[in-house]
Amino acid sequence: MWRRRSEAPFWREKSERFIPLIIALMVFFAALALATTMALDGASRQWLQGAAGTLTVQIPAPPSAVTKDEETARIDSVLSILKAIPTVESARVLPRREIAALLERWLGEGNVSDRLPLPAVIDVKIEAGKKVDMPDVRQRLAAIVSGTSIDHHEQWLNQRVRLAQTVQFIGLAVVFMIGIAAIAIIVFATRAGLAVHREIVEVLHVIGARDSDIARQFQEHALWLGLRGGAFGLALALVTFFLLAQLAVGLEGPFWTHLTLGPFSWVALGLLPVATAVITTLTARVTVLLALRDVV
């Protein structure tokens, strides 16, 4: 017989059935933007971490046939210079099979024959926080083996990290704008509700309801709308993530393998419906209180 104290069935307008759907779509897009932002943030850190303090030295294949000892001596001369640099922690010559494996990603498996002249590649690690005088090292190496090149990964990755950070900023801006749009929708819906139910609000007012009592009717309804819409939108987003993960199976390369979401990211996404409900609730409450301020 008795309804819950907080229930106000007279606030249910047929037009409101679209509001959870709109909220669901907003949460869906916000989840996509947020997940992209968080994934890129994690990936950027890992790229920088992995690339920080590393160099790759390529010694070109000799122009004419040399003996294995001569080849080894060429490489060792470069290696000795690198190891003599005080800030170099380690220098490792990559075995041919590792180089071949890297090339097979581009050339196809089995297309890198043993007779294919490959450069010698030395993976150099620099001590944390230390630097190397790149022009000096380049000059010294070039004097020993002409054509030797040095790749400073950090420099290369910085550009990509800046791009990733720009995308993150855009993602956060999208989430922010979605939040603003959600607030606008709830303000509009609440004011419409107040107008439609003006007489009932007046009755509650007349029988002694405080503004906060009336606002509670609307905010509880908005809370329910926000939770429903938020949960549905998140569920939709999770299905999308799962599908994307399935499509990405088998993709290799640091770019793809580092695009993951950690535990904190999943928690943040899981809180989206809660955040949505808080936003819709507070917005409805403030809207009603401001509107009632003009009433005697």
Partner 1 sequence: MQMFASLRRAPEGTNSSLVRFQNVGLRYGLGPEVLRDVSFRLKPGSFQFLTGPSGAGKTSLLKIIYLALQPTRGMITLFGQDLSTIPRKQLPPLRRRIGVVFQDYRLVDDLTAGDNVALPLRITGAKKQDIETKVAELLDWVGLGDQIMTRPPTMSEGEKQRVAIARAVIAQPSLLVADEPTGNIDADQSVRILRLFEQLNKVGTTVVIATHDQHLLTQFKHPVLRLEDGALAVQQPPLPLGPGDGR
Contacts with partner 1 by CB under 8 A lie at: 1-3, 5, 9-10, 12, 199-200, 202-210, 213, 296
Q: CB 254 → partner 1: shortest distance, Å?
A: 60
Residues 6+ apart with CB under 8 A from 47: 157, 160, 161, 254, 258
Distance CA 68, CA 127 (A): 32
The candidate with the shortest Cα–Cα distance to 182, out of 296, 265, 276, is: 276
Q: CB 16 → partner 1: shortest distance, Å?
A: 14
Return the DSSP state at 10: G
Query: For residues 164-192, b (16+ Cβ closer than 10 Å) or e, as one string?
Result: beebbeebeebbeebeeebbebbbebbee
Distance CA 66, CA 101 (A): 24
Q: Are 200 and 258 in contact (CB under 8 A)?
A: no
Q: Are 8 and 216 in contact (CB under 8 A)?
A: no
Q: Which is nearer to partner 1, 131 or 210 (CB)?
A: 210
Q: Which is nearer to partner 1, 133 or 213 (CB)?
A: 213
Q: Which is nearer to partner 1, 149 or 212 (CB)?
A: 212
Q: Which is nearer to partner 1, 34 or 292 (CB)?
A: 292
In order of 222, 245, 295, the CA distances from 190 in angstroms are 8, 39, 16
Distance CA 276, CA 57 (A): 52
Three-state DSSP state, 1: coil
Q: Which is nearer to partner 1, 105 or 198 (CB)?
A: 198
Q: Which is nearer to partner 1, 2 or 106 (CB)?
A: 2
Q: CB 271 → partner 1: shortest distance, Å?
A: 33
Q: CB 290 → partner 1: shortest distance, Å?
A: 14
Question: Between β-strands 88-93 and 54-59, what pairing exists: parallel, antiparallel or unpaired?
Answer: unpaired
Q: CB 220 → partner 1: shortest distance, Å?
A: 14
Distance CA 145, CA 85 (A): 17
Q: Which is nearer to partner 1, 10 or 188 (CB)?
A: 10
Q: CB 9 → partner 1: shortest distance, Å?
A: 4
| Structure token pair of residue 296 | 């005697």
How many residues are recorded in the chain?
A: 296
Q: Which is nearer to partner 1, 209 or 282 (CB)?
A: 209
Q: CB 4 → partner 1: shortest distance, Å?
A: 10
Q: CB 12 → partner 1: shortest distance, Å?
A: 8
